[in-house]
Amino acid sequence: MSKILVVQELAISFGHNQVLKSVSFELEHNEVLGVIGPNGAGKTVMLDILTGILKPDSGKIIYKGEDITGKSITERVKNGFGRTFQIPRSFEKMTAYENIICGGVYGDGLYERQACVRAGGILHTIGLTAKANTFAGKLTLLDRKRLEIGIAMASNPAVLFFDEVAGGLTESEVAEILEIVRDLKACGFSIIWIEHVIQTMLQGTDRILLLSDGRDIITGLPSDVMSSREVETVYLGVKKR
């Protein structure tokens, strides 16, 4: 595989609070990279920097060989970034179908007819075809999570950024999210996935990055990282030997 995203020594502070000190990693084409870490590790802040919501104090973001560190949110969306949020941000008084159409029109500059065609395919992928005309505010939590993924897909991205899309779901619902992620990987997407649900990280990722105290601590195969001394130290307070 070849690298689609290279992150080099990202750092950011808010006042005297240095949230990210030095974070570096790479994302391969068609790879699912899981990101774990304790609360306050800087996981969502890192996504905010990668997607252009925040500007880092230092470090670089290289996407497809180009330095995009200074590019805006809009530019990154047009260049191939799509993102979900911990709390779903769909338009509650619009249907699932309409929400995804908006993503295609405003995120990718499609004509409405083109966006409608794309939305139909996305609804099938995320399992919401039967609820296409249901208002987003009336959907269950699982279906709103599905819709978040669908909206992120609407601009035809190459890289998807998931922020706890399995959070708050039951074990059987998590399994449905895992199936969607597998389908997305099969379609060629590259994914960075922040999650606290360990099942998703073990079963749905190619590699895992452990983030703690504003630094990348270890990156490797899911089973290796989850059984590592570093994870024990971060989550359980076990001292390194």
Q: Which residues have a Cβ under 8 Å from the Cβ of 147 and sit 6 or more positions away?
A: 88, 90, 96, 99, 100, 126, 128, 136, 139
Q: Where is average pLDDT lowest: 37-41, 61-65, 66-70?
A: 37-41
pLDDT of residue 238: 53
Going by pLDDT thresholds of 50, 70 and 90, the confidence category of residue 89 is confident
- Give the whole-number percent of the chain exceeding pLDDT 90: 88
Residue 86: its pLDDT value, please? Answer: 86
Rounded CA separation 4/228 (Å): 27
pLDDT at site 239: 54
Q: Is 241 a residue whose pLDDT tops 70?
A: no
Task: Report whether pLDDT(237) > 80.
Answer: no
Q: Using the predicted structure, report yes or no on whether residue 233 has a pLDDT greater than 70.
A: yes
Give the tens place of pLDDT for each residue, 16-58: 999 999 999 999 999 999 999 998 889 999 999 999 999 999 9
Task: For residue range 168-224, list pLDDT tens digits in order.
Answer: 999 999 999 999 999 999 999 999 999 989 899 999 999 999 999 999 999 999 999
Query: Looking at the predicted structure, is the pLDDT value of residue 71 above 90?
Result: yes
- Burial letters for 20-45: b for 16+ Cβ neighbours within 10 Å, e otherwise? beebebbbeebbbbbbbbeeebbbbb
Sheet with 159-163: list strands edge to edge: 66-67, 58-63, 3-14, 17-28, 215-220, 207-212, 32-36, 190-194, 159-163, 81-83
Residue pLDDT, tens place only, 96-110? 999 999 999 999 999
pLDDT above 70 for 75: yes
- Domains parsed from the chain with CATH numbers: 3-236 (3.40.50.300)
Asked if pLDDT for residue 133 goes beyond 60, the answer is yes
Query: Does the pLDDT at position 1 exceed 60?
Result: no
Residue with more model confidence, 85 or 2: 85
pLDDT in the model for residue 149: 97
pLDDT at 236 (0 to 100): 63
Locate 76 and state its tokens.
């990154």
Distance in angstroms (rounded) separating the CA atoms of residues 33 and 201: 9
Flag whether pLDDT at 85 surpasses 80. yes
- Model pTM? 0.93
